[in-house]
Amino acid sequence: MCEELNFTRAAARCNVSQPSLTRAIANLEKEFGGVLFNRERSNTRLTELGRIIRPYLDQVYEQAASALEQARMYENARSVELRLGLMCTIAPGQFIELVSQMRSIHPDIRIEIIDANAGGLENSLLADELEAAVYCRPEHTRDDRLHYVPLFHEQRTVS
């Protein structure tokens, strides 16, 4: 509004309706305790209070825009890391194809595979050192703090 000095053009520039902009400025005027713009039909201009307040509002706007840009840069630059635990006795053949497909579909996800025994993997999951793990655990030794999803069952033969 300070640059346009016209409510209709300022509202269009801000992608809001003119009544919304007028209400927002009225709220600022209420907050600051005085009129910010002299509103004359074709000669809208800043009041003395408006001239005093403008540099502060410009600074707030610039900092908000800068914060938004930093957030966008962070979101675009960060790669997601998936720490996957894999029990040392599970053959990795089935997971090579899974990891390969995942990398082609989601190249921004970096996968780190950690090899350990079942107890070590559970401890790492509980310590928040892994996002997921694939391991074998008998039903009666499961920890209630973890969520288990059966992937497959192996038949054991005793000779």
Domains and CATH numbers, the chain: 7-76 (1.10.10.10), 79-141 (3.40.190.10)
Distance, in Å, from the CA atom of 34 to the CA atom of 115, rounded to the nearest integer, reads 67
Cα–chain-centroid distance for residue 86?
28
Sign of the CA dihedral running 91, 96, 98, 99? positive
Q: DSSP letters along 90-108, please?
A: S-THHHHHHHHHHHHH-TT
Local confidence pLDDT in tens for the 159 residues of the chain: 999 999 999 999 999 999 999 999 999 999 999 999 998 878 899 999 999 999 999 999 999 999 999 888 887 766 678 899 988 777 767 778 878 888 888 887 888 889 999 889 999 999 999 999 988 877 767 788 898 888 776 666 676
Distance, in Å, from the CA atom of 3 to the CA atom of 21, rounded to the nearest integer, reads 14
Distance, in Å, from the CA atom of 7 to the CA atom of 55, rounded to the nearest integer, reads 20
Burial class of 147 by CB neighbour count within 10 A (0 to 12, 13 to 18, 19+): exposed
